[in-house]
Amino acid sequence: MRCVVAKARFSITQLPGFGLIAIVTFVMLYLPIIILVVFSFNEGVSQSRWEGFSLQWYQAAFNNTQVRDVSLRSLWLAVTASGLATALATLAALGTTRVGRFPGQTMIYALINQPLMVPEIVTGIALLIFVAAIKVQTGYTGMGYLVAAHTAFCIPFAYLPIRARLETLDHALEAAAADLYASPIQAFRYITLPLMIPGILAGFMLGFVISLDTVVITEFVKSAGQDTLPTYMLGQLRRTVTPEMNAIATLFLALSLVIVTAFFLITRTRGR
C-alpha cells in the first residue's frame, strides 16, 4: 500500500514578517505623497503645522502666469516627444520581431534599450556636449533639441510594451490574411496594427509620463526660457518651499493618475 504525501504549496505571504515588511514599504512609498497632498490645502505657509483648510494655494498656482506657461510647454513637449518615440519604437519593434534571425539583432536590441541601462546623468552630460556643439555651429537654440532629446530618451520605454505585444500575437492570423490574398500592407493595416493598439497606447503612455517627469535631461539640454514644469519647480524649491509648490505637485500627480488610469482602461478594453 503506497503512502501519498501531499506537498504543501509554497506561498510568500506565509513567510515570517511578510505582512510587516509590506506595510512598512507602502507607508514609506505613499505617506510622503499623502502629506504633500494634505498640506497643499493648508491655509498657512507652514509645512509641518496644520492651520486650516484653504484652496488659496491652488488659486495662486492658477493665477501664476509662469506656472501656466511652463505647464503648457511641458504638456506640448511630452505629447510631441512621446508621439515621435512611439512611432519610432513601433517601427523598431516590427523590425526586430517580424523578421527572422539576422547578425547583429541582439546588438540592435541592446542599443535600443541603452538609455535604460546608462545612468540618466551620463546621458544628460553626453547630450549637453553634443547639443552645445550644434548650437555653436548653427546658432539655433529652439525647442528642437528638447524634442529630440526627450524622444530619444523615451524610445526604449515605448519599445518594451510594443515589442511584448507583438511577441504575443498569433502569426497564424497574418498567414491566414496572406492566404486570402491580402498584400503585406493590407495584412498589417487590418490585422497586425489593430492588434498592436494596446501595446502602442501603453508605449505612448509610458513615454508621455517619462517625458513629463524627466528633470535631468531637460536641465542639461534646455536653453534660456525653456523651463518645463519639473525644472521650474526645482528652481523654486532651491529658493524656498511654499504650499504653492505642494499644490502644483498635487495637480501634477492628479494629471499623471488620470492619464495612467485612462490608458489602463483603454488598453484593457482593447486587449480583450
Q: pLDDT tens digits for 169-226? A: 777 777 787 777 777 788 788 888 888 888 888 889 888 888 988 888 999 998 888 8
Claim to verify: residue 75 and residue 167 sit in the same structural domain: yes
Amino acid at the residue 35: I
Q: Tell me: do 86 and 202 sit in the same domain.
A: yes
Q: Give the single-character DSSP code of 214.
A: -
Task: For residues 110 and 236, state if they share a domain.
Answer: yes
Query: Which cell numbers in the block locate residue 139?
Result: 546658432
Given pLDDT bands bounded at 50, 70 and 90, which one contains residue 272? Answer: low
Rounded (5°) CA angle 85-209-211:
55
Asked whether 213 and 229 are in contact (CB, 8 A), the reply is no
Q: Looking at the structure, tell me whether residues 96 and 221 fall in a common domain.
A: yes
Q: Are 228 and 150 in contact (CB under 8 A)?
A: no
Q: How far is CA 135 from the centre of its chain?
A: 28
Q: How many domains does the chain have?
A: 2
List pLDDT tens digits, range 46-93: 777 888 888 888 888 888 888 888 888 998 999 999 999 999 999 888
204, 251: one domain: yes
Q: What is the pLDDT of residue 146?
A: 92
Range of the structural domain that residue 191 is part of: 64-271
Contact of 197 with 263, CB cutoff 8 Å = no
Q: Is pLDDT at 4 greater than 60 in this prediction?
A: no
Q: With respect to residue 4, please indicate whether it lies within any of the assigned structural domains.
A: no
C-alpha cell at 119: 545612468
Query: Are the beta carbons of 31 and 251 closer than 8 angstroms?
Result: no
Claim to verify: residue 89 and residue 130 sit in the same structural domain:
yes
pLDDT for position 94 = 86
Q: What residues contact 190, with CB distance under 8 A and at least 6 apart?
A: 177, 182
C-alpha span between 2 and 227 (Å, rounded): 75
Average pLDDT, the chain: 83
Q: Is the pLDDT of residue 227 over 80?
A: yes
